[in-house]
Amino acid sequence: MRVAVCQLNSRDDRAANLATANELLTAAARAGADLAVLPEYVDYLGRSAGMPKPEPVDGEFAAFFADAARRLGIWVLAGSFHEIGPDPEHTYNTSLVFDRTGALAATYRKIHLYDVEIPGRVSYLESRSVAAGTEPVVVPVDGVPVGLSICYDLRFPELYRHLAVAGGARVLVVPAAFMLHTGRDHWEVLLRARAIENQCFVVAAGQIGDHEPGRTCFGRSMVVDPWGTVLAQAPDTVGITVADLDLGRLETIRSELPSLANRRL
């Protein structure tokens, strides 16, 4: 399986963000990608006052990426977007996966919400405006089980263990908008840890650069193999990075070092 991580700098212009996403998906298809992964909130990263109205799963956002997947003939994980939530005060942070025909193959709503207050550095309470999802999701991409997650989920290993063991995932995807001050110390470490402990490939697409209001994302989108080796890492710019996933190597690692089979709890 060939994968492409698409690194964006989404801002407060939804049309421009989607146009850039389309350009990157086109580049991914030309590079022979089977699956292209976009980052968290690919549609809009800006001030809440300008946020587009949340949409249903079958709204304009979904139609845009369904068309791209069908036109390009690739699987598309459309990062995440602002889905209509359970009440007027909350949306869902939702990933959609489209198959090569443009059909919606999976919907995942972010389970772990980023509620963090670090004096003098960051204060962000995602739960004020976003409702948590409840269901882990694994989707077969050309027959390969792919486990879904979004950004802050990365800090909760129990989710990935569930995806790998109960869900049978061989690939774990992480669309993200990881912030600079945590990303530079934790992003790669956590991605490699999730890959090693679950003996899965990890495909992580991040936002890069400055976003209003006063937010900077780390970028460094990457693909990690089940041994924890970084197969590919994006430079600090908007663009795509491609890697080939050797699923035979995954099975060899699981056979020679059967840590999942040896677990006791």
Confidence of residue 117 (pLDDT cuts 50, 70, 90): confident
Confidence of residue 122 (pLDDT cuts 50, 70, 90): low
CATH number of 156's domain: 3.60.110.10
Q: Are 240 and 222 in contact (CB under 8 A)?
A: no
As a whole number of angstroms, the distance between CA 169 and CA 253 comes to 15
As a whole number of angstroms, the distance between CA 144 and CA 75 comes to 12
Confidence of residue 211 (pLDDT cuts 50, 70, 90): confident
Confidence of residue 214 (pLDDT cuts 50, 70, 90): confident
**What are the residue numbers of the active site?**
40, 110, 151
Residues 6+ apart with CB under 8 A from 15: none
Q: Are 107 and 153 in contact (CB under 8 A)?
A: no
pLDDT score of 265: 85
When divided into structural domains, the chain yields a total of: 1
pLDDT score of 121: 65
Mind listing the pLDDT tens digit for each residue in 31-79? 999 999 999 999 999 988 888 899 999 999 999 999 999 999 999 999 9
pTM of this structure: 0.96
Confidence of residue 228 (pLDDT cuts 50, 70, 90): very high
> Mean pLDDT across the stretch 196-204?
98
Mean pLDDT score across all residues of the chain: 96
Confidence of residue 161 (pLDDT cuts 50, 70, 90): very high
Domain that holds residue 162: 2-262
